[in-house]
């Protein structure tokens, strides 16, 4: 292996970081392409991680900084891969660098622009529970800490006026005339680590998501209990009263393990994250009671079952086998009534709670088919990327293209990290055996 070999990593989440850092440590040049304005991925949105209840961003942020700052890693945020040609050892990759209308090298990350920006839009990072401005950092710990202008929202692009941000920026970093660029890089291997989306169960009318304000997804609840979240860590209902919910119900397998919605697979993390969220709720306020309605308790990992037991014993979580049939909202109080069967007496019972958290299916990203097409790799019937066989679980169906994390199949953070390392090894192996590729490091700007 020569020093100037390089690898492309698509997706700046925890799986991608691990792969990038492993490769970089071995002296391989890495090009990381991240679609959104900041690296971090889903893990950056989580409050804590199971089964240790570590602060998620606290263990992630050092990885983000390390990745961004590593001399062997070239991180491109707000960029997308748009074309791949060549073969193992010698891929030519066209990267679309979207214009963020802010010069990365000039922006100091002071945030003055976004204080003045008059245009508010719903924040993707906060799962729509808070607003951001048209010029924004996706979240406080964003890396790089460079502002980005959302062209679709920015007033200037609609009216030609405003430019308040430009007036405010003392670094002179904002340029509304910036244009998209296409960059071509030459790499020996590609690692795809694009992660997942959260299923929003609007179509499952029986649970009232979208209709009842106090029915939220687990990812939304993750933001609600997060100290940096939209409620500043105050556990609050979304209804007008903004009351503190004292009784929480968690419903598992919403839209997952569900053939009616074409998702018979298990999302693999929900039994654990619901338990975690119920624990955190009790830690926020000791008078919080939680009920977790599960299909089967799938606590299969190391220390997982002990975690469930701890939830029951130390946090008073009520685990109830069985799914509620439906939820009805009390229109006056905005409380929610769940109907479920008591397995002992076989009676249908009604449980009144103040908030319901749905452990909805985690699904392949909406643009997975597009990515698969660009990379020339196959997907399975659910749009997860496909491995050629069980013995090559981090390989895709194209030689020299590897995958890590949730884009392949449901898995938790440690597994995604392990796959990150595995793909780094596979990529180095590929380049060692196909040395002709990856010789050119030079970027060509089109």
Partner 1 sequence: MTTFEPEIVALCCNWCSYAGADLAGVSRIQYPPNVRILRVMCSGRVEVGHIIRALEMGADGVLVTGCHPGDCHYISGNEQAEKAIAATKEILTVLGMEDRLSLEWISAAEGQRFGQVMTDFVERIRALGPNPMKEAKVSRGNPGDVPGRLEDLVDRTGVMYCLECGKCEATCPITRMEIAYSPMLIVEEALRDLPEELEADKGLWNCITCGLCSHRCPSGVDFLEFVRQAREVETSSCDRCAHGGVFHALAGIMANEAVSQPGRLDWVEDGMEVAEKGELLYFTGCLPYFEPVLWDVDVHPAGALGSTVRVMNHAGIVPVVMADERCCGHDLVWSGQSGTAFAELARLNVEAIKATGARRVVFTCPEGLRTFAKDYPRVLGEDAIDFELLHITQLFAELIEEGRLELPEGTDEAVPLTIQDPCRLGRHMGIVDAPRKVLDSLPGYELREMEHHGLNAHCCGTSSWLNCGTFSKRIQVERMTQAEDAGADLLVTACPKCFSHFNCTLNEPGSDDTPPKPAVEIVDISVLLSKTLGLEGGGDR
Residues forming contacts to partner 1 in the complex (CB under 8 A) are 205-206, 253, 257-261, 295-296, 321-326, 328, 339-341, 343, 345-348
Q: Which is nearer to partner 1, 260 or 313 (CB)?
A: 260
User: Is 427 in contact with 28 (CB distance < 8 Å)?
Assistant: yes
> Smallest gap, in angstroms, from Cβ of residue 228 to partner 1?
35
- Output the smallest distance, CB 322 to partner 1, in A: 3
Phi and psi at residue 356, to the nearest 5°:
-120, 130
Specify the residue, 285 or 321, whose C-beta has the smaller distance to partner 1. 321
* CB of 97 or CB of 295, closer to partner 1: 295
What is the smallest separation between the CB atom of 27 and partner 1, expressed in angstroms? 49
Report the nearest approach of partner 1 to the CB of residue 413 (Å).
26
Q: Shortest approach of partner 1 to residue 360 CB, angstroms?
A: 13
Q: For residue 233, what are its two tokens?
A: 């860590």
Locate tokens 């995604």: which residue?
A: 416
Do residues 10 and 30 touch, judged by C-beta distance below 8 A?
Answer: no
Integer CA distances (angstroms), 100 to 104, 161, 174, 206, in order: 9, 18, 9, 42
Distance between start and end Cα atoms, the chain: 29
β-partners of residue 30 are 7, 73
Nearer to partner 1, 100 or 257 (CB): 257
Which among 147, 159, 125 has a CA at the least distance from the CA of 41? 125
Compute the distance between CA of residue 224 and CA of residue 205 in angstroms, rounded to an integer.
23
CB of 320 to partner 1, least distance (A): 9
Q: Closest distance between partner 1 and the C-beta of residue 206, in Å?
A: 6
Shortest separation between residue 344's beta carbon and partner 1, angstroms: 11
- CB 324 to partner 1: min, Å: 5
State the nearest-atom distance from the C-beta of 215 to partner 1, in Å: 14
Name which of 188, 174, 242, 159 is nearest 9 in CA terms: 188
Comparing CB distances to partner 1, the nearer of 119 and 323 is 323
Taking the least distance from each CB to partner 1, the nearer of 25 and 350 is 350
C-beta closer to partner 1: residue 76 or 263: 263
* Residue closer to partner 1, measured from CB, 313 or 346: 346
Angle at the Cα of 22 from the Cα atoms of 25 and 67, rounded to 5 degrees = 80
Q: Which is nearer to partner 1, 293 or 315 (CB)?
A: 293
Contact 79, 420 (CB under 8 A): no
Please say which residue, 342 or 370, places its beta carbon nearer to partner 1. Answer: 342
CB of 331 to partner 1, least distance (A): 9
Closer CB to partner 1, residue 190 or residue 266? 266
Tokens of 123: 């924040």
């Amino acid at each position: 292996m020569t020093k100037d070999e390089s690898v492309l990593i698509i997706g700046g989440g925890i799986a991608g970081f691990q792969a990038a850092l492993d490769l970089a440590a071995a002296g391989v040049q890495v090009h990381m392409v991240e679609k959104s304005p900041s690296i971090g991925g889903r893990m950056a949105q989580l409050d804590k991680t199971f089964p240790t209840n570590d602060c998620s961003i606290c263990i992630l942020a050092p990885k983000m900084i390390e990745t961004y700052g590593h001399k062997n890693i070239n991180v491109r945020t707000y960029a997308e891969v748009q074309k791949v040609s060549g073969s193992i050892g010698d891929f030519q990759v066209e990267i679309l660098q979207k214009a963020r209308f802010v010069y990365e090298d000039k922006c100091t990350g002071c945030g003055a622009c976004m204080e003045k920006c008059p245009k508010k839009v719903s924040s993707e990072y906060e799962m729509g529970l808070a607003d951001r401005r048209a010029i924004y950092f996706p979240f406080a710990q964003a890396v790089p800490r460079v502002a980005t202008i959302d062209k679709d929202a920015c007033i200037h692009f609609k009216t030609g006026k405003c430019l308040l941000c430009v007036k405010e920026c003392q670094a002179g970093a904002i340029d509304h005339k910036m244009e998209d660029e296409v960059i071509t890089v030459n790499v020996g291997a590609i690692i795809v680590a694009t992660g997942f989306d959260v299923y929003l169960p609007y179509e499952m009318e029986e649970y009232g998501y979208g209709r009842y304000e106090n029915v939220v997804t687990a990812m939304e609840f993750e933001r609600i209990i997060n100290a940096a979240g939209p409620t500043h860590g105050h556990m609050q209902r979304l209804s007008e009263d903004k009351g503190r919910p004292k009784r929480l119900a968690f419903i598992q397998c919403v839209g997952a393990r569900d053939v009616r919605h074409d998702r018979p697979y298990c999302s693999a993390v929900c039994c654990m994250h619901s338990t975690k969220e119920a624990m955190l709720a009790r830690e926020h306020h000791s008078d919080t009671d939680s009920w977790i309605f599960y299909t089967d308790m799938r606590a299969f990992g190391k220390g997982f079952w002990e975690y469930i037991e701890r939830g029951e014993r130390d946090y008073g979580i009520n685990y109830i086998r069985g799914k509620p049939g439906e939820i009805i909202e009390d229109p006056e109080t905005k409380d929610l009534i769940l109907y479920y069967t008591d397995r002992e007496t076989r009676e249908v019972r009604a449980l009144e709670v103040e908030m319901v958290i749905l452990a909805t299916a985690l699904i392949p990203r909406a643009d997975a088919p597009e990515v698969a097409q660009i990379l020339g790799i196959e997907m399975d019937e659910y749009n997860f990327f496909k491995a050629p066989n069980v013995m090559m679980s981090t390989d895709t169906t194209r030689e020299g293209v590897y995958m890590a994390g949730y884009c392949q199949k449901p898995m938790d953070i440690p597994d995604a990290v392990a796959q990150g390392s595995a793909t780094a090894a596979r990529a180095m192996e590929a380049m060692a055996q196909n040395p002709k590729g990856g010789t050119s490091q030079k970027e060509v700007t089109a």
